[in-house]
């Protein structure tokens, strides 16, 4: 049920004074005295009124009703976390809600009762001016025209948002002289380079800065600090946001409500608590826990249809010249990294590892891994039958040839995954793929029920990797404790690499006719990752595909192997790939961050969910 937006009552029109028909007629000398007294009284009233108007204007309480005027410049917020002030409590009379009118008029505020599990008997306070906007306070924002709430749900299939998903934290950032707006996922409201607005970045920098102001009738308006444009609803369903208009009268108007939940507000006993510690505690109690949460059994029910789906993971490693380390203490040793990678892929339940290699070294290593213990699936090996590039000087297969071979090798697979041969994964990989497949299936059914066309041919998952120096003597144990090490240590201690360096691609069957739709990019050269990411993003903009950024749920640890990571850019096959990409559409949308969808774990049960990064308005 939508909350009732209560506006302050309009001022009562003064009643015209009626003549006193019962008074006696004044005659003679008394009339002059009477007129003199009346004149003095009138002059006194005028003087009082003029004085009141003068001081009222100086104090800012006099409101001019020009619809396009914007009140309130951004001012530096109080460094402290002030206690909430002057909340008005509505009187409840049966099912009808009333507000103390005189109090509402005097304070220019209105309150709204809410009912939720964590905020019973509490009331919203509408913020109507910059003076009332407090730093480090929690709020809710409702768009005036649509009555939709600004929210970031963890499941785009949901028709409405949960209470904690509507709550945002406003914080003044002195360095930028602007405000950041943070949601329950700890991500910030961001104005991207294409002026689209997302809630997908953890750190508040220039793209996450906003300039709030208020209209004369007390509605919030937001302007992006990055491009100096105002925020407005967009999209076919008006459930997305753009910051792309210069006229304030066309901007979205928001009712800004102070969050009344006790869990979201400091108490008097917190007066001496350091600001950073207090905010972190309030975030946890108001929004819920942050970080990786392992899935509970009931969380997997939404993916039951795909519970047994496996993920073929294939690679084409460089030829292996020897089957033992050159230096057992060298963390960058090629054999140590190759051996560890193949064991990792083979030990993940639900992964079907597949190697395409024609050299004897990799073929022998596959035999050794398959004969060992603790593996969930044996590694399939293919030594021929896939396309090699027509230029023999490269001595490499093509990406399209590898994908075509993998799809033929696993004819019933929902999707296949290419990975560089130095990446470690965890079971989060399989869980994410199943969740994305489930999401797309539910979305197809949802559109069908609504009688709407669904032209999506398929989907692709990409993501960022974490770079880390793995100790040379670390190996995967059969007990499964290695999963905690990879997720709890390596992934957290490593460095998140660039968003335009994709090391894996999970592509659903039917998205491409690989040998027809994809040029002959050479394996190992640059540009293919950005080109294929751009191509799917362009298809997604036409409603033909879904691209998902899986960085938040797929643990992908790149084993550092020394040397200059940019050196491969100078190789002839990289130059060839770059020219090929430029001639076939380029790579403008070639970053993982350009994907319209992303995954994350739901705090309540740890389930992997998919969300539309641009859908930010919900009933």
Residues 267 and 315 in one domain: no
Domain of 282, CATH number, reads 2.80.10.50
CA dihedral 573, 579, 585, 591 (to 10 degrees): 60
**pLDDT tens for residues 182-227?**
998 888 999 988 899 998 788 899 999 999 999 999 999 999 999 9
Q: Which of 269, 287, 305 is the last residue of a domain?
A: 287
- Residues 528/576, Cβ–Cβ less than 8 Å: no
The radius of gyration computed from the CA coordinates of the chain, to the nearest angstrom, equals: 32
Residues 575 and 594 in one domain: yes
Q: How far apart are CA 406 and CA 504, in angstroms?
A: 14
457-to-204, 281, 543 alpha-carbon distances in Å: 36, 45, 9
> Which single residue is written with the structure tokens 């294409």?
194
Residues 270 and 252 in one domain: yes
- Residues 403/416, Cβ–Cβ less than 8 Å: yes
Question: Considering Cα of 64, then 65, then 69, then 73, what sign does the dihedral take?
Answer: positive
Closest CA to 522 of 383, 334, 386, 391: 391
Instruction: State the total domains in the chain.
Output: 2
Residues 218 and 367 in one domain: no
**pLDDT tens for residues 541-585?**
899 999 999 999 999 999 998 776 666 777 899 999 999 999 999
Q: What is the pLDDT of residue 106?
A: 33
Q: How far apart are CA 483 and CA 426, in angstroms?
A: 6
277-to-167, 185, 216 alpha-carbon distances in Å: 19, 18, 37
Provide the phi-psi class of 356: left if phi over 0, else alpha when psi is between -120 and 50, else beta: beta
Residues 411 and 498 in one domain: yes
Tokens representing 357 are: 């290699």
Residues 266 and 378 in one domain: no
Other residues' Cβ atoms within 10 Å of the Cβ of residue 211: 19
Residues 477 and 412 in one domain: yes
- Residues 295/606, Cβ–Cβ less than 8 Å: yes
Mean pLDDT of 96-104: 30
Q: Can you list the positions of beta strands (E) in 114-272?
A: 123-127, 137-143, 149-150, 168-173, 178-182, 188-191, 197-201, 210-214, 220-224, 230-234, 240-245, 254-258
**pLDDT tens for residues 261-298?**
888 876 655 666 677 777 888 888 888 766 544 544 44
Q: Which domain holds residue 551?
A: 297-614
**pLDDT tens for residues 435-484?**
999 999 988 988 888 898 899 999 999 999 999 999 999 989 878 899 99
Residue 538 belongs to some domain of the structure: yes
Whether the predicted pLDDT of 250 surpasses 60:
yes
**For residue 285, which phi and psi values (nearest 5 degrees)?**
-75, -30
Domain of 510, CATH number, reads 3.90.550
463-to-438, 452, 497 alpha-carbon distances in Å: 19, 30, 10
Residue 71 belongs to some domain of the structure: no
- This prediction has a pTM of 0.71
* 3-state helix, strand and coil shares in percent for the chain, rounded to the nearest 5: 30, 20, 50
Q: What is the pLDDT of residue 102?
A: 31
């Amino acid at each position: 049920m939508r909350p009732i937006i209560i506006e302050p009552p309009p001022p009562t029109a003064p009643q015209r004074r009626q003549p006193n028909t019962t008074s006696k007629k004044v005659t003679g000398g008394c009339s002059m005295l009477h007129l003199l007294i009346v004149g003095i009284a009138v002059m006194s009233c005028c003087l009082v009124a003029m004085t009141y108007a003068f001081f009222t204007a100086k104090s800012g309480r006099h409101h001019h009703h020009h619809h396009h005027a914007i009140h309130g410049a951004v001012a530096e917020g109080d460094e402290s976390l002030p206690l909430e002030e002057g909340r008005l409590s509505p009187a409840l009379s049966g099912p009808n809600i009333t507000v103390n009118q005189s109090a509402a008029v005097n304070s220019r505020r209105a309150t709204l009762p809410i009912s939720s599990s964590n905020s019973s008997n509490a009331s919203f306070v509408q913020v109507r001016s910059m003076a009332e906007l407090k730093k480090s306070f929690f709020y809710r924002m409702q768009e005036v025209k649509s009555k939709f709430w600004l929210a970031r749900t963890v499941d785009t299939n949901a028709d409405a948002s949960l209470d904690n998903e509507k709550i945002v934290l406003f914080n003044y950032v002195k360095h930028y002289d602007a405000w950041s707006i943070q949601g329950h996922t700890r991500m910030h409201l961001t104005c991207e380079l294409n002026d689209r607005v997302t809630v997908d970045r953890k750190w508040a920098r220039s793209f996450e800065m906003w300039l709030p102001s208020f209209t004369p009738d007390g509605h919030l308006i937001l302007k992006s600090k990055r491009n100096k444009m105002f925020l407005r609803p967009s999209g076919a369903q008006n459930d997305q946001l753009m910051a792309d208009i210069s006229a304030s009268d066309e901007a979205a108007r928001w009712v800004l409500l102070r969050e009344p939940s006790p869990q979201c507000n400091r108490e008097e006993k917190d007066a001496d608590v350091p600001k950073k510690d207090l905010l972190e505690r309030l975030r946890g109690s108001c929004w819920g826990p942050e970080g990786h949460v392992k899935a509970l059994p009931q969380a997997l029910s939404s993916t039951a249809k795909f519970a047994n789906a496996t993920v073929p993971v294939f690679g084409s490693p460089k030829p292996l010249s020897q089957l033992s380390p050159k230096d057992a203490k060298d963390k960058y040793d090629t054999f140590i990294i190759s051996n560890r990678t193949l064991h990792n892929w083979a030990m993940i339940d639900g992964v079907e590892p597949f190697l395409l290699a024609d050299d004897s070294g990799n073929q022998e290593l596959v035999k050794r891994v398959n004969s060992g213990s603790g593996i969930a699936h044996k590694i399939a090996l293919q030594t021929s039958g896939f396309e090699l590039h027509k230029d023999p000087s490269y001595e490499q297969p093509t990406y399209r040839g590898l994908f075509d071979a993998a799809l033929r090798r696993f004819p019933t697979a929902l999707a296949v995954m290419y990975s560089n041969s130095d990446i470690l994964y965890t079971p989060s990989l399989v869980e994410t793929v199943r969740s994305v497949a489930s999401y797309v299936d539910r979305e197809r059914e949802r559109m069908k029920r609504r009688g709407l066309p669904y032209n999506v041919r398929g989907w692709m998952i990409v993501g960022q990797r974490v770079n880390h120096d793995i100790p040379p003597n670390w190996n995967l144990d059969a007990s499964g404790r290695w999963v905690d090490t990879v997720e709890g240590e390596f992934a957290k201690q490593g460095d998140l690499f660039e968003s335009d360096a994709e090391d894996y691609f999970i592509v659903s069957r039917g998205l491409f006719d690989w040998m027809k739709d994809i040029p002959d990019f050479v394996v190992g050269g640059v540009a293919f990752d950005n080109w294929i990411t751009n191509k799917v993003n362009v298809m997604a903009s036409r409603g033909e595909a879904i691209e998902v950024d899986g960085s938040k749920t797929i643990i992908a640890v790149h084993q550092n192997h020394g040397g200059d990571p940019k050196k491969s850019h100078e190789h002839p096959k990289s130059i060839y790939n770059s020219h090929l990409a430029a001639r076939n559409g380029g790579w403008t949308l070639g970053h993982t961050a350009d994907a319209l969808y992303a995954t994350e774990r739901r705090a309540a049960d740890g389930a992997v969910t998919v969300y539309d990064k641009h859908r930010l308005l919900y009933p």
